[in-house]
Amino acid sequence: MTDLVPPPVTSGKSLMERLEDALLPLINLVFLLLMFFIVAGQLSDTPLPELPGTGQQAGNEQPYADLTVTAKGEWQVDGRTVTTQGLPKALPAPDEESPLKIAAEREIAMSDLESLLRVLEDSGYQEVILLTEPAS
């Protein structure tokens, strides 16, 4: 009876020699890619420009916020404290193009923030941006 699978073609080379022959194109490709990125990725001597809000430019500027939440859990719009019922009237109408900006003090309790977000969701606000104070 004859074998259905022909014997492997070895061309007289050992397994290690065949492995080396198979890896040579991969090594060439990696070398060419390395050379490409060395030539294409020129290093610049000019430093990166200062990003806005970093370094000396940052100062003590407060970003604009539609609503401020104090550490005591009070809600303020334009410096005036508002209640749960008066909050939707004091804030700008919900808009998908510009989300509501909320500034929260660092010491605010999570439960106060959750209750505020529930009131805002019930008022039709789908997206908000939460601004917090950085750690000192």
Identify which has the larger pLDDT, 121 or 9: 121
In three-state secondary structure terms, 118 is helix
3-state DSSP percent of the chain in helix, strand and coil, to 5: 35, 15, 50
Is the distance from CB of 113 to CB of 71 less than 8 angstroms? no
Rounded to 5°, the CA angle 52-57-58 comes to 80
Which residues touch 81 (CB under 8 Å, ≥6 apart)? 74, 75
What is the pTM assigned to this prediction? 0.51
Question: Each residue of 63-99: pLDDT tens digit?
Answer: 788 888 888 888 888 888 888 888 888 888 887 788 8
Per-residue confidence band for 19, with pLDDT thresholds at 50, 70 and 90: confident
